[in-house]
Structure 1
Amino acid sequence: MAASRFLPVFLALVSAFISVPPSEANGGALHFRLVHRSQLEGARGDGEVDAFRRLDDITRRDQLRQKHIAETLRSPRRKAIESSFEAPILSGAYSGAGEYFVKLKIGSPARDYLLVADTGSDLTWTKCQEGVTVASSIGRRRATEACVPSSSFAPYKCSTDSCESLPFSTTVCPTPQSPCLYDYRYADGSFTKGTYGNDTVLVTAPDGSVTPIRDVLVGRSSDFQGVIFDKTDGVLGLGFSPISFAITTAQLYGGKFSYCLVDHLNRRDSNYLVFGNNSRASQLNIRYATLVLDSMIQPYYGIEVDGISMDGKMLPIPPAVWKFVFKEDSIAGGVIIDSGMTLTSLVKPAYDVVMSAFRSYFKDFPTFTQQPFDLCFNVTQLSPEQAKRAGPNLAWHFSGGAKFTPHIGSYVTVVAPNLKCIAIVPAAWPGISIIGNIHQQKYLWEFDLANG
């Protein structure tokens, strides 16, 4: 097993991040705009998804993803330009999916794709069913041409060492010149199958200039299954892996990438996924934490945690739940950051302590259970004094002294009209805890993979 690597991840408040217009960003930066999925639905004329049904969908997908992550970590796979760019990320809250999305231009001729931005995936792929009309996920649903061959797409040959070394590549190789095929499985049981190859990605800087990034590993999927893929054009792999878009692109832009996730309940918010030096980060109160990058947890990003406090008091959580213990066929303890997981999950020993503290804080509230949450309350049933209490101040204490204080609304969360719940769920022990995307909202997360 490869030795663990420890690198810094920067945290900064998003309020300052939003206040700087994109036009003021570093002209050499690579910027992708972040937008709510609800905005896309508004453009298509879709109605809002019922709150409880949306919650059920998100919960089901989270449970499947959590199970998949646990199974993956039990049996891990064995198999510089000083500038930057930025792109928008979209929240999928109002579509019944908890993911965030980014628009990207790929191929020659370039075509727009709406991709799930996932720090738990390493493969970037797009739908491409030859001879089949594909409905666009961008803006209003419109019939588009059948998958058009890209003149810049160079498929890998199945007989090469490069094909054999790629994750999820198949052994199908009828002739040495046949394409390298993949069969990629996701946490919720969905899958994608297609051809590995290199293609060109076009990115637009804030000043309007277009830069081609050549030889990016992209899968062209001829077969896929999953509810989320009905609403998107594929996946943007942001995981820690030599083949991921995040790692290969960050290497071209100073070894850094960062993102800030928008409020999943605010249709108007948008923000950015940035590769390279984020000019706005220099204006913020940056705190440093330590990433754990290990082949045993690839493609996930681990983070070193010392504990959790509530209203300034450290909670008596067993230290063992925070420490990664790598065994030959399993992992016990540790925390990962996952943009594809909506809710934050804590392994049972930590969850029980944290929920006990929440119950103590809300002991005079008329609380009840609303699956999957163990502690909920109806805001219309609160007294005037109770209504003034938004919730306790929760803080994650990262190794090295950094403290992450998520916004109260990211854990005392509105899950339906007049209904708030503690949006933290239990995970099995031994196992790992996961900081989900709602918990991460309104913070800038910058991954410095070059200066650790």
Structure 2
Amino acid sequence: MCWQKRDFFLSIILLFVAGNTGAKLAGGHEGSSGTKLELIHRHDLLRNPRNGVHPVPTFQRMKQMFHHDTIRYRALSSRPRMKHGGRISSARRQVQENTGYYQACTNGSGIRAGEMPMYSGADDGTGQYFVHLKVGTPPQKVTLIADTGSELTWTKCNYMCEGAQCGRNLRDRRVFRADDSSTFKTVPCSSSMCKIELANLFSLAQCPSPMDPCAYDYRYLDGSSTVGVFANETVTFSLTNGKKTRLENVLVGCSGSSRGQSFQAADGIIGLGYSNHSFAVKAAKEFGGKFSYCLVDHLSPKNVSSYLIFGSYHETDISPTELQYTELVLGVISPFYAVNMKGISIGGILLGIPNEVWNVNGVGGVIVDSGSSLTFLTQPAYQPVVDALKPSLSSFRTSNQDFAPLEYCFNSTGFDESLVPRLVFHFTDGARFEPPVKSYVIDAATGVKCLGFVNATWPGTSVLGNIMQQNHFWEFDIAKARLGFASSSCSS
């Protein structure tokens, strides 16, 4: 019998998440250590025939990426806002309550840290980087989309599954085999955790028997969907000191059915958003209250890697003195990480953009999002930026190819980045983010470049996407509510 055939399971997006039941680390470590996961760009996985996906031309891949971004932004713009310091701020409090623990770790031996390789992926229609994660006992490797806009961590999964119909929708993909894990424990549907704590993660009210698993049903705006059950599991990390450690009692979602293009080449999603249930908040509690990543150019050769790090970043090419910091506004545009922007300058001239465009506590604001490729600027910011950049590109013939939602594209023969004035994002506390020109004059196809900004509806939220974030190190310090960043080659 397959669990997914029971009548109380519907279609949803399940999670493989850092959970609600007091995640703790098992195993001892000495000295400075942490977790580093490699980030793999989605295009790299799509280029690999072993993933069951045939390579597609750059033009087509970029069009797919742009389409996914548009869908994701619609979902983002429809989210309700909370008053600054609202209910989700409890996630930050959970991290801050461990301040004594963090201080104990930093005295003498330094904060423990862990690193994970990071690759590109998709969620809500997008999410460009993937990580490999080891889940269960014994550990099984799954490939998950790394997304700072998702609360949930989930994977395609078989549970109580027998016979030819077992996981019929998943036969062409790697799946997590829950029945083979000695640490997989489902959350009872009769529990308060299922009925109350997981309600905002789409848990279902159906409960035929008190000990039946807590089920969830989730659909994305692009028509993708997945159905599954919540459980507690163990995640295994390789630490930067060469040892391994386990994060126990992690909330996971085990999905027996998943449909849609959003999850092509991935097994699920690792939720890095700001929420009590997100993997980022749970793992950060154990690794110094923060996580970080560094994104190489999404068009880099396949052997060039980015990394997702929980804890110390001492093995990167960044020193603490190089980081600039600005405030992270948590819990307002949930589960995204918002920042207080002051304005944008081009060629050293601050543009005339109304202050309300940047007011995160009003109807504007800016988020930093790893799951969006493009940078979305609401109309009062978009038009001044494009108008200031276009004169430097006026000698190039406008492209007649359709790269919607990008509006200004041109034949790039003879293009030289030195022709383009430098763009700088200014934060209210004085920090300045100056991306390389290739992050805002982007490659769209062979011989074609575009201004990498999307005209977003006003009022609304602006988004710093992952192309704009490339070749920079980003540290999300949840315990101190601050975002650190610095230019980096992303080498380690």
Please give the TM-score of this superposition, normalised by the length of structure 2: 0.78
CA displacement 1:329-382 (0-9 Å, x = unmatched): xxx1001111111110001111111111112222333234643222111122x4
Helix, strand or coil at the partner of 1:72: coil
After TM superposition, the structure 1 = structure 2 runs for residues 134-173 of structure 1, keeping only pairs within 5 Å, are 148-164=179-195, 165-166=197-198, 167=200, 168-173=202-207
The one of 270, 276, 291 equivalent to 2:305 is 270
Give the length in aligned residue pairs.
412
The answer for the alignment partner of 1:374 in structure 2 is 407
Kindly state the Cα deviation for residue 391 of structure 1 after the two structures are TM-superposed.
Answer: 2.2
CA distance in 2, matches of 1:371, 1:143: 33
Is 2:113–2:240's contact at 8 Å kept on the other side of the alignment? no
CA distance in 2, matches of 1:223, 1:323: 41
Distance 1:322 1:275, change over 3 A: same
The answer for the alignment partner of 1:33 in structure 2 is 38
Kindly state the Cα deviation for residue 230 of structure 1 after the two structures are TM-superposed.
Answer: 3.4
CA distance in 2, matches of 1:92, 1:446: 20
CA distance in 1, matches of 2:349, 2:468: 20
CA distance in 2, matches of 1:188, 1:51: 22
CA distance in 2, matches of 1:341, 1:335: 13
Distance 1:61 1:144, change over 3 A: closer
Is 2:121–2:127's contact at 8 Å kept on the other side of the alignment? yes
The answer for the alignment partner of 1:57 in structure 2 is 64
Asked whether 1:324 is paired with 2:360, we answer yes
Asked whether 1:71 is paired with 2:100, we answer no
The one of 383, 389, 394 equivalent to 1:358 is 389
The answer for the alignment partner of 2:226 in structure 1 is 192
CA distance in 1, matches of 2:340, 2:174: 47
After TM superposition, the structure 1 = structure 2 runs for residues 97-136 of structure 1, keeping only pairs within 5 Å, are 99-129=128-158, 130-131=161-162, 132=166
Identity of aligned residues (%): 41
The answer for the alignment partner of 1:291 in structure 2 is 328
Kindly state the Cα deviation for residue 49 of structure 1 after the two structures are TM-superposed.
Answer: 1.6
CA distance in 2, matches of 1:125, 1:314: 43
CA displacement 1:114-167 (0-9 Å, x = unmatched): 000011111111111334368999xxx887796644221121111121112212
Distance 1:145 1:404, change over 3 A: closer
Asked whether 1:300 is paired with 2:333, we answer no
Distance 1:271 1:284, change over 3 A: farther
The answer for the alignment partner of 2:96 in structure 1 is none
The answer for the alignment partner of 1:249 in structure 2 is 283
CA distance in 1, matches of 2:240, 2:347: 41
Kindly state the Cα deviation for residue 388 of structure 1 after the two structures are TM-superposed.
Answer: 6.2
The one of 261, 266, 287 equivalent to 1:227 is 261
What is the identity, as a one-letter code, of the residue corresponding to 1:333? Answer: G
Kindly state the Cα deviation for residue 449 of structure 1 after the two structures are TM-superposed.
Answer: 1.3
CA distance in 2, matches of 1:182, 1:191: 11
CA distance in 2, matches of 1:144, 1:198: 17
Helix, strand or coil at the partner of 1:367: coil
What is the identity, as a one-letter code, of the residue corresponding to 2:119? Answer: L
Q: Point out where structure 2 has 5 or more consecutive residues left out of the alignment.
A: 1-30, 89-100, 106-111, 482-492
CA displacement 1:283-339 (0-9 Å, x = unmatched): 551101111112x4211111110000101110111111000235xxxxx10011111
Kindly state the Cα deviation for residue 176 of structure 1 after the two structures are TM-superposed.
Answer: 1.8
What is the identity, as a one-letter code, of the residue corresponding to 1:31? Answer: K
Kindly state the Cα deviation for residue 42 of structure 1 after the two structures are TM-superposed.
Answer: 5.1
What is the identity, as a one-letter code, of the residue corresponding to 1:70? Answer: S
CA RMSD in angstroms, aligned pairs only:
2.7
Distance 1:400 1:211, change over 3 A: same
CA distance in 2, matches of 1:118, 1:133: 26
Kindly state the Cα deviation for residue 205 of structure 1 after the two structures are TM-superposed.
Answer: 1.8
CA distance in 1, matches of 2:41, 2:290: 24
Please give the TM-score of this superposition, normalised by the length of structure 1: 0.84
CA displacement 1:199-246 (0-9 Å, x = unmatched): 000011234321111011111012222213231111100000010000
Is 1:133–1:147's contact at 8 Å kept on the other side of the alignment? no
Is 1:134–1:144's contact at 8 Å kept on the other side of the alignment? no
CA distance in 2, matches of 1:277, 1:99: 24
What is the identity, as a one-letter code, of the residue corresponding to 2:34? Answer: A
CA distance in 1, matches of 2:323, 2:174: 45
More deviation in 245-254 or 46-55? 46-55
What is the identity, as a one-letter code, of the residue corresponding to 1:271? Answer: S
Helix, strand or coil at the partner of 1:66: helix
CA distance in 2, matches of 1:135, 1:263: 34
Kindly state the Cα deviation for residue 58 of structure 1 after the two structures are TM-superposed.
Answer: 1.1
CA distance in 2, matches of 1:172, 1:135: 23
What is the identity, as a one-letter code, of the residue corresponding to 1:28? Answer: S
Asked whether 1:177 is paired with 2:211, we answer yes
